[in-house]
A and B are shown apart, each in its own frame.
Chain A
Amino acid sequence: AQSVTQLDSQVPVFEEAPVELRCNYSSSVSVYLFWYVQYPNQGLQLLLKYLSGSTLVKGINGFEAEFNKSQTSFHLRKPSVHISDTAEYFCAVTLTQGAQKLVFGQGTRLTINP
């Protein structure tokens, strides 16, 4: 079965600084990968997804992620964060074949300080 590990539960950064949120997955077969963002008391919104092709994926709000198959990672990055990026971020994985049940990481709380 596939699994996801988000290596940091909380990440504080200053406004306009770069940020990287780390995600590692475990699976013996090929996967699709996702990053979702959750603002307080709201549902989850898709930031970006990797299905196939280019390993560098661009998403909304200036975020991007890179799929690294050899390291089984899908880290999320943004070169310059804004106060409005304060939220919780979830990495998720599903298999490309068979039962497609999305498995989520524990989440990373990103806090932007002025």
Chain B
Amino acid sequence: DGGITQSPKYLFRKEGQNVTLSCEQNLNHDAMYWYRQDPGQGLRLIYYSQIVNDFQKGDIAEGYSVSREKKESFPLTVTSAQKNPTAFYLCASTPHGAGNTGELFFGEGSRLTVL
């Protein structure tokens, strides 16, 4: 079945360590997104990519990095520079181009806890 796969679902990290969250999609979507979710704050956009080898910062990009080497994959690295990384991270995708409504398709999320 087509969909978006995020891994790992749960991740624990010590302070000062970088960690990479995986996001893979087989929907043939052009655009991919990373959101961060904290209780009572809704979804905040970290990074997005509309095409391979290109990506843009969202509203809260500091302390995060991404790459888009393949259409199917959009990994997110949470670096040690991110001051408060404990959160639920959601990856999403959407088709790009004429006729696209902006509707997002989401993965199941990854919960990162910094110890």
Contact = CB atoms under 8 A, between A and B. Distances in A.
Interface of A: 9, 32, 34, 36, 41-46, 49, 51, 90, 92, 94-95, 100-102, 104-107
A42 B108 contact: yes
Nearest to A4: B42
Interface of B: 4, 6, 40-43, 45, 48, 88, 90, 92, 94, 100-109, 111
Nearest to A96: B101
A94 to B, nearest CB: 3
B102 A102 contact: yes
Contacts of B111: 41
A88 to B, nearest CB: 9
A106 B40 contact: yes
A67 to B, nearest CB: 14
Nearest to B108: A43
A101 B92 CA distance: 12
Contacts of A51: 101
Contacts, number: 54
Given A32-B102, A43-B90, A104 B108 contact: no
A49 B90 contact: no
A43 B4 CA distance: 10
B98 to A, nearest CB: 11
24 contacts: A34-B103, A41-B88, A41-B109, A41-B111, A42-B108, A43-B90, A43-B92, A43-B108, A44-B90, A44-B92, A44-B104, A44-B106, A46-B103, A51-B101, A90-B42, A94-B101, A94-B102, A100-B102, A101-B45, A101-B102, A102-B103, A104-B43, A105-B42, A107-B40
B56 to A, nearest CB: 10
B101 A100 contact: yes
